[in-house]
Amino acid sequence: MSNVLVELRQKIDEIDHALLELVTRRLSVSRQIAMAKPGGSPVYRPAREALLMHQLLSQLDGTVEHKVVERLWRGLLASSVHSQRSNFKIISLEGLEDFTSEFSAGFLDFTFCSTGDHIIKQLSENQADVAFFPYSELAEIASSLGEKTGIYLNHKMDNVAIICKNMPEETGFDISLFRDSSFVEPSIIEKPGFSLNSHSSEHVHIGAWVNLSSALKY
């Protein structure tokens, strides 16, 4: 075996040890944050995670594939949520199996259902902490979102709506969502910026998502 190959493998070993130390430190700080949080604080913050992932990916120069970073940090983030709430549960609509499995990263429990009504019921009864639903079909459950139920859309990824009992967080790169109740069939209105009020009695605030394409400009 050449000396060059031995040296390169030693470097890999050193990097692996350094990575392990950094991961251990990160998870330790995450646990400290969990302990410092006021009671009742959400353990999962969709908007913050979206911005974090965006910031990480925007630093890549092409030598590392996005998928590598996404999966590494997805595992770290899911592990952090699990350490704060071991019974954290996801309810997802059938058809979103791949998205849900990747999101859970082997740490978070999940189940599937066939209707939006069942998803809302699970969230309302605190049988699930977060729900995944096709964003393009959000109008089907829009009447069950908003202040009346305390259930809001908090973000969307890959055309998947992330819904939970958290109030959406303002990030500076937001698209606010409202349900137009003036029609028999509810319709969704998207408005740039973070707002809880559309200045129309017929528009009900139902959530917000982080517009990462807008964040790219900064």
DSSP letters, 163-183, are EESSPPPP-SSEEEEEEETTS
**pLDDT of the chain along its 218 residues, tens only?**
688 999 999 999 999 999 999 999 999 998 898 888 887 788 999 999 999 999 999 999 989 999 999 999 999 999 999 988 999 999 999 999 999 999 999 999 999 999 999 999 999 999 999 999 999 999 999 999 999 999 999 999 989 999 999 999 999 999 999 998 776 677 899 999 999 877 777 889 999 999 987 655 44
Strands (E), 80-135: 89-93, 109-113, 130-134
Q: Within a domain: residue 12?
A: no
Tokens of 74: 């997805």
Q: Within a domain: residue 22?
A: no
Total domain count for the chain? 1
Q: Within a domain: residue 142?
A: yes
What's the domain range around 182? 44-215
Q: Within a domain: residue 36?
A: no
Which DSSP state fits 216? T
Cα dist from 31 to 38, 63, 123, 164, whole Å = 13, 32, 25, 22
Q: Within a domain: residue 148?
A: yes
Report the SS3 class of residue 72: helix
Q: Among candidates 174, 176, 189, which has minimal Cα distance to 51?
A: 174
Q: Within a domain: residue 100?
A: yes
Question: pTM score, two decimals?
Answer: 0.89
Compute the mean pLDDT over every residue in the chain, rounded to the nearest whole number: 91
Q: Within a domain: residue 39?
A: no
Q: Within a domain: residue 5?
A: no
